Structure 1
Amino acid sequence: MAFGEQPAYLRVAGDLRQKIVAGELPPHTRLPSQARIRQEYGVSDTVALEARKVLMAEGLVEGRSGSGTYVRAQPVLRRLIRTGYRTVDDCTPFRQEQADETVRGTWESSSIQEEATSDVAARLLITPGQRVMRTRYVFRAANEPTMLSTSWEPLAITGRTPVLLPEEGPLAGRGVVDRMAAIDLVVDNVVEEVGARPGLAEEMLALGGCAGHAVLVISRTYYAGGRPVETADVVTSADRYRVAYHLPVR
């Protein structure tokens, strides 16, 4: 193969990709069979199979057991808006995380006490093994799952207080800032790190995506006077969302 020349499987995948983007192979259309690809492009079975794998990895097609490979309907791209903390009437976890403020969202949650892993402990500036409250959320809009969130709060801060459980008690669902204020801690800083990785099988199952497809991960930590009071990972499908930051200029 000459320098700069693409491997055969990438050339085949590129041509099929162009047909999908141009609408020649619209959503829910069956992708040409391996034998058809081999015949049309004059390639081997191995090349045809690798080309299909490329399109599957890109999320353009999906396999259906016993039926074949079909073009996927591409989701409508939405923005995951990050504006920092705002005081609003509906100051719920969904209001803090949701992508579209015009959409009324719902969520499910569950909380459990556990020992902090080394990663969580490093984020909370505590010793590994110290007790934390872990809360997992599934957020939905229009009955569709949109994002997942897992948060951890040190029990050294919230234990034996009315805000021990984020979704129970007098400030249930009020969000970290209001809950910490109720125990005389003023949240004055938030740090977020945004990254991407392949989605775990259980994450993609919950989000309605394909296993192995990329997810966006926003790792967020709330601080009060330099002390971390909560850290969380917000996970959403990378092919459905773009993170948009609206930051005030001071």
Structure 2
Amino acid sequence: MAEPAYVRIAGEYARRIRGGELPPGTQLPSYAEIAQQNGVSDIVVRKAVELLQSQGLVRSVRRRGVFVADRPNLVRVSPERQMESAEQSFQNESDQPIQVNREVQQLPATVELAEALGIPAGQEIKHVITKASENGRPISISDTHHPLDIADISGAAYLEETIFDQLPPTAHAEWLRTTPGDLVKTVHQRFIAADERVVMISNISYPRDRYDAFVFRMSLE
């Protein structure tokens, strides 16, 4: 899926802010200037700035403009990132090299997975393990499961996320290099079709100090 223009613009500014090129207190160009530089409308720029604000990277001062926040933090925003590949999501957060590896396999659904997906136990499903690192440091690992007749999440109408701290599965602990007994931040996702069929489930683990906050955003249109 092509990256929306506002996500691309926000990602470029996010990298410059986190990389120190735009230090705290720096004023961003006006909406009109950013629009002209990127060949987009003011509406697209406004959405990009709103995304940067939701990530805690900039602050808007009435009648003065938009400024880099005094303490730029790292906030995971959903569901915007569901439109992005893992490479895009993490590269938009960092100016460091991002590496993403995927392992894909088919396996029979366990009783637990079958119940979650609403299919018979033992039916073949696809399992994708995605591992991400930033400049060699592991920052994420996910297990995604979906029926073989589902190619992607384009058929999903709803996304449910549950966020909690927990002891990671062995494979997640090994990848994230956690100390035995340490908790990780876990996001459990369910992608649901309009007919209420669960088309994909995913469990994503992050180091607990990866994000300052988790924000879920949805359209009310």
TM-score range (shorter-chain normalised) is 0.5 to 0.7
Q: Does the aligned pair in 1 maintain the 2:74–2:93 contact within 8 Å? A: no
Segments of structure 2 that go 5 or more residues without pairing to the other structure are 1-72
Q: Partner of 2:191 in structure 1?
A: 222
Alignment partner, residue 120 of structure 1: 113
> Distance between the aligned counterparts of 2:180 and 2:163, measured in 1?
21
Letter matched to residue 106 of structure 1:
Q
**What are the ranges of 5 or more consecutive residues in structure 1 without an aligned counterpart?**
1-77, 164-175, 181-185
Bigger Rg over Cα: 1
Counterpart of 1:135 in structure 2: which amino acid? V
For residue 94 of structure 1, report the CA deviation from its aligned partner: 3.8
Q: What percentage of residue pairs aligned between the two structures are identical?
A: 16
Measure how far apart 1:142 and its partner are: 2.1
Contact residue 184 and residue 207 of structure 2 kept, 8 A: yes
Runs of 4+ in 1 over 6 A off after TM superposition: none
Pairing of 1:139-150 with structure 2 (within 5 A):
139-150=132-143
Shift in Å, 1:81: 0.8
Q: Which residue of 1 aligns with 2:62?
A: none
Residue 126 of structure 2: aligned partner: 133
Q: Residues 115 and 243 (structure 1 numbering): CA distance in 2 closer, same or farther, change over 3 Å?
A: farther
- Specify whether residues 233 and 198 from structure 1 end up closer, same or farther in structure 2 by C-alpha distance, changes over 3 A only: same
Q: Would the aligned equivalents of 1:111 and 1:135 in 2 still touch at CA under 8 Å? A: yes
* In 2: Cα distance, 1:122 partner to 1:100 partner: 35
Q: 1:203 aligns with which of 158, 172, 186?
A: 172
Q: Name the counterpart of 1:188.
A: 157
Alignment root-mean-square deviation, CA = 2.7
Distance in 2 between residues matched to 1:217 and 1:191, nearest whole Å = 13
> TM-score scaled by structure 2?
0.57
* 1:232 equivalent among 179, 182, 202: 202
Give the SS at the match of 1:108.
strand
Return the letter of the residue paired with 2:142. Answer: S
With over 3 angstroms needed to count, the CA separation of the structure-2 counterparts of 1:80 and 1:133, relative to structure 1, is: farther
Map of 1:69 onto structure 2: none
Q: How far 1:79 sits from its partner (Å)?
A: 3.6
How has the CA–CA distance of structure 1 residues 216 and 233 changed in structure 2, closer, same or farther, with 3 Å as cutoff? same
1:145 maps to a residue whose letter is P
In 1, Cα distance between equivalents of 2:193 and 2:186: 23
